[in-house]
Amino acid sequence: MHAPNHPPHDVDALLAAFDGEQLMADLETLGAIGRERGGGLQRMAYSEADLAARRWVLAQMQALGMGATLDAAGNVVGYLPGSEARPALALGSHTDSVPGGGMFDGALGVLAALACVRTLRGQGVKLRHPLLLLDFAAEEATTAASPLGSLSFTGHLTADALDGPAWHGGSTNELLAARGFDSAALIANHPPLPLAAFVELHIEQGDQLLAPRTPIGVVEGIVGIRRYYVTFEGQANHAGTTSMARRRDALVAAAPFITTVRDVAVAHGIVGTIGRIDVQPGAPNVIPGRVVLDVEIRDMANSTLDRAEAALHDAAAASGAQMVHGHRKEPTPADPQLMAAIQRACARLDLPRRTLPSGAGHDAMNLAAICPYAMIFVPSEGGVSHAPDEFTPAAECIAGGRVLLATLLDLDERL
């Protein structure tokens, strides 16, 4: 399994040396950068606070003796050489936030990876594989083409993707230029070396690990997303003079379909949402003449999404609506070998775990285009995220960090 000149890692000794207190202290320090008084984080992509946070992470990597640079997209890329010429193992996540975000989303995965390197350095242990520690820029959907940093890192960013709007009101191209980034360089970006695997620790942001409380989630994949525009035609007319009997109100026609989306989702065991309703002409004194519903469904299984989609088509046709297909993202399954490594890590640490899909997108889904990936989840108190009261207890943050370390050591021996 490993070359004779490389004895197996003393995993238990390394796990015992993992400094959980320092991890929590780092989370507090990073969580203070860009925090509003009494409120959430304002570390939107390429804001001053976001760049300050990324420079802080860079300095921490350098202090641990890693080679660390900002790449063309502003991703922090830390490097630790391995003892053999092999593709790299990579750990990481992101440190940007949504407006008013929490201090665990993304930051935990970056700082736990940093804690893994601190453990290796402190114990004088060298991995067989080179190690990349990645703090991706612009993961949250505050720019076009999100997650933008990991898309650039993997070499899959396209020029037209940067035309879309960013959180500051202008285009993403303008935001990048204002911060001294070169869009052409982002598009030409690529990984510094081939990757053997990417593992991301992240808060769950849902409620699947809460009942029963389970400290570790082993992510089976990131769900597929399908969006539809469902249009109901009526007749716009005067809201005061048109009798109820003579109305063709498009919003009234659309109303039953709203609960149908919920019912179809429940019946198929998936999630379904209408996140936007466009009512035209959209005035209080005019009967709606046309209504467009933005419908979204998500699940890991395309076969289930196919059946739910067919049910939605039937319901739309029955109510005389037009259903048009919009954005579609395929499910991104995690790598079974890497999932098995996480399972072994949990068994070694005697930690209960369950397998679950990720309903949210993550940098890992972009990394999946260039290497096998897996994700480790820890519980989000109350299922809350993207909010100031996002919280994961220290014991579970540290448990997640130890699982990440044990997984890394396992993969270093097996891959």
- Which residues sit at the interface with Zn ion, rule CB under 5 A? 105-106
**Strands laid side by side in the 271-280 sheet:** 271-280, 290-299, 224-233, 322-329
Closest distance to Zn ion from the beta carbon of 109 (Å):
8
Start-to-end CA span in the chain (Å): 9
Give me the half-sphere count of Cα atoms (radius 13 Å) on the Cβ side of residue 374.
Answer: 23
Nearer to Zn ion, 147 or 191 (CB): 147
Q: Please, which residue, 97 or 260, has the CB nearer to Zn ion?
A: 97
Q: Shortest approach of Zn ion to residue 202 CB, angstroms?
A: 6
Minimum Å distance from CB 215 to Zn ion?
19
Nearer to Zn ion, 105 or 412 (CB): 105
Rounded Cα distance between 12 and 24, Å, is 21
* Sequence-ordered list of residues with C-beta below 8 angstroms from that of 246, at least 6 positions apart, any chain: none
| Residue with smallest beta-carbon separation from Zn ion | 106
Q: 138 vs 411, which CB is nearer to Zn ion?
A: 138
CA distance 180 to 361: 27
Closest distance between Zn ion and the C-beta of residue 348, in Å? 27
Which residue is it, tokens 């606070």?
A: 49
Task: Please report how close the Cβ of residue 98 comes to Zn ion at its closest, in angstroms.
Answer: 9
> Rounded to whole angstroms, how far apart are CA atoms 200 and 107?
11
Estimate the crossing angle of helix 394-414 against helix 336-348, to 10 degrees. 120
Q: CB burial class (10 A; 0-12, 13-18, 19+) of residue 124?
A: exposed
Query: Which CB atom, from 141 or from 301, has the smaller least distance to Zn ion?
Result: 141
270 vs 364, beta carbon nearer Zn ion: 364
Least Cβ distance, residue 363 to Zn ion (angstroms): 8
- In whole angstroms, the minimum distance from the beta carbon of 335 to Zn ion comes to 20
Tell me the C-alpha distance between 150 and 70, whole Å.
13
Taking the least distance from each CB to Zn ion, the nearer of 323 and 364 is 364
- Can you tell me the distance from the alpha carbon of 115 to that of 68, in angstroms, rounded to the nearest whole number? 15
* Nearby residues of 124 by Cβ (< 8 Å), 6 or more positions away: none
User: At closest approach, how far in Å is the CB of 218 from Zn ion?
Assistant: 18
Q: Smallest gap, in angstroms, from Cβ of residue 147 to Zn ion?
A: 9
Give least dist CB 139 to Zn ion, A. 6
Give the residue with the Cβ less far from Zn ion, 97 or 173. 97
Nearer to Zn ion, 41 or 287 (CB): 41
- What is the length of the chain? 415
My answer on whether omega of the bond before 147 falls inside 30° of 0, hence cis, is yes
Instruction: Identify which of residues 214 and 358 has a Cβ nearer to Zn ion in the complex.
Output: 358
- How far apart are CB 391 and Zn ion at their closest, in Å? 15
In the complex with Zn ion, the residue whose CB is nearer, 106 or 288, is 106
